[in-house]
Amino acid sequence: MSEKIALFPGSFDPITLGHVDLIERAAHLFDKVYVGVFPNTSKQSFFSMEEKMTLVQQTLQAYQNVIVVSQEKDLTVTYAKKIGANYLIRGIRNSKDFEYEKDIYVLNQHLDRSIETVYFLANPKYEHISSSMLKEILTFGGDISSFLPTVVNQYIEKK
Residue numbers belonging to the annotated binding site: 11-12, 19, 43, 76, 90-93, 101, 126-132
Catalytic residue among 32, 43, 102, 159, which?
Answer: 43
Catalytic residue among 32, 81, 93, 135, which?
Answer: 93
Residues 9 and 76: beta-carbon distance below 8 Å: yes
131 noted as active-site residue: yes
Binding-site residue set for ATP: 11-12, 19, 91-93, 101, 126-132
Nearest to 123 by CA among 4, 24, 14: 24
Residues 6 or more apart whose CB falls under 8 angstroms from that of 38 comprise 9, 10, 11, 70, 71, 72, 76, 79
Binding-site residue set for substrate: 11, 43, 76, 90
Report the distance separating Cα 28 and Cα 30, nearest Å: 6
Catalytic residue among 48, 131, 146, 159, which?
Answer: 131
19 noted as active-site residue: yes
Catalytic residue among 2, 19, 32, 125, which?
Answer: 19
**Residues designated as active site:** 19, 43, 93, 131
